[in-house]
Each structure stands twice: as structure tokens, then as C-alpha cells.
Structure 1
Amino acid sequence: MAGREFTQKDIDIFNKLAPESGGSVTSEWGHTYPFILRPISHKFVESSEDFKQRIDRLTPDELDYLVELALDNKEDIRSMEPEDIEVLMDMISEKISDERAKQLKQHLGIV
């Protein structure tokens, strides 16, 4: 799964999820992050509860945008921390629909 070049919408969502990044979407090694959720899960959050609070900042439209990216294989969900994947699926069910969460789980091969 190759990364992508972030759009302004991607940058806005990333900054909403990780305001401590100071608007940067670049890792400490100088590489632009290829995805939004994976670095949030691995580099910024301290717990699954922290991840949940961050994801809760997103509007349903922003969250659905991330689901759509994942369905298009442009967002990496599989490499996130397992407990963060669970939180993400719960938030998708809550903010969008159970059907949308089910669609993403099927796409990812999560039963």
C-alpha cells in the first residue's frame, strides 16, 4: 500500500487529530507521513482512550472521508494498534452507521 500526497483536507484532519504536530505532516526523520491514522495511532496517542478522544473530534463527514480513503486503499488501517482499530470501528458505527463499519471491516478482512 503506497502512501499518497496529502490534500489540504488531509492536512486539516491530521492537524485536528494531532494539534501538537504544529501543522507539520512530516516525521522527525523529515519524511512526509504517507497516511493520517497510522502515525496518529503509533506516534501521537498515549492510549486507546486518547485515540478515541482524538477521533471524536472529527465530524461524521471527516470520519467518512477517512473510511472512503481506507476503502480505496489510500489510508492504512491494518497497521494501526489493534485497540485503536477497535475504537475506530466503534466510532464509525456511532458517528456514521453500523453498515459503514461493517463495510470497512469486510474490506480489511476483520470479522
Structure 2
Amino acid sequence: MSRVFSDMDKQIFDKLAPELSGNTTSSAGHNYPFILRPISHKIAESAEDFRERMERLNVEELDYLVKLALEDKEDIHSLEPEDIDTIMELVEQKISAQRMKELKQHLGIV
């Protein structure tokens, strides 16, 4: 099932990958089904780069991604392991430890 990016999705994607100038299509010509996976696997050059990009998000944007993940509309499972750690740390710092626990439980991370 392919997901069409909402305005909020595009706003977050542009903030995380401004160098793509709003292009949400893969090199194969398909629309990205998720926001975080292409950032983790194709765009960020390192774990540090991924963290730097994620730190650009405000609380509302980060919580929006958590909500999508809890609804299985955003893929966190297949990110690089250190990128998953970054997301968990930022959720705990910017939102709450409870929200991080909720996300970890949903993803089956102990």
C-alpha cells in the first residue's frame, strides 16, 4: 500500500532533507512510502548526520512521526540501529519518557 505524503509529511521531509528541494520520489521514480527510511538509508551520510537532521524537528513534528509509527504508517523498524537509538533519545528528551516507552513497546524493543 503506498502512502501519499500529507502537507505535514512534506514539511517534515523538507526539514530533514532540504537538499532534495521537496522531491519525495526515489531514484527509481516511486514516491517514498515513509519519511524516515530514506533519510536513514539514502540521505544522511552518518549516524551523526541523521541525529543532526532529526534535531531540526520541533516537538509537534517529532510527536507526529511517533503517532504515525504507532499507527504503522511510518517505518522505524528498518532504520539503521543507531538511528533508532537517536529517535528514542529525542522522543524521551523532547516529548517524554512515557512516549518513548510507548513507541518502544509498539516496536517490540525492550
Give the shorter-chain TM-score range: over 0.9
Q: Which runs of 4+ in 1 moved over 6 A?
A: none
Partner of 2:72: 73
Partner of 2:86: 87
Tell me, yes or no, if structure 1 residue 51 matches structure 2 residue 50: yes
Partner of 1:33: 32
Alpha-carbon offset, residue 3 of structure 1: 3.9
1:61 counterpart letter in structure 2 = E
Whether contact under 8 Å (1:3, 1:35) holds in the other structure is: no
In the alignment, the residues of structure 1 paired with residue 82 and residue 108 of structure 2 have an alpha-carbon distance, to the nearest angstrom, of 16
Alpha-carbon offset, residue 47 of structure 1: 1.1
Q: Which has the higher contact order (CA 8 A, sep 6+)?
A: 1
Q: What is the CA deviation profile of residues 22-78 of structure 1, one whole-angstrom value per residue up to 9, with x for unaligned ones? A: 110001111000000011000111111111110000000000000000000000000
**Aligned residues, how many?**
110
TM-score, normalised to structure 2's length? 0.97
Alpha-carbon offset, residue 87 of structure 1: 0.6
2:26 counterpart letter in structure 1 = S
2:69 counterpart letter in structure 1 = A
Partner of 1:99: 98
In the alignment, the residues of structure 2 paired with residue 8 and residue 98 of structure 1 have an alpha-carbon distance, to the nearest angstrom, of 28
Partner of 2:23: 24
Q: Specify every segment of 5 or more residues in structure 2 that has no aligned partner in the other structure, as ranges.
A: none
Whether contact under 8 Å (1:26, 1:33) holds in the other structure is: yes
Percent identity over the alignment? 61
In the alignment, the residues of structure 1 paired with residue 50 and residue 2 of structure 2 have an alpha-carbon distance, to the nearest angstrom, of 22
In the alignment, the residues of structure 2 paired with residue 77 and residue 47 of structure 1 have an alpha-carbon distance, to the nearest angstrom, of 17
Q: Specify every segment of 5 or more residues in structure 1 that has no aligned partner in the other structure, as ranges.
A: none
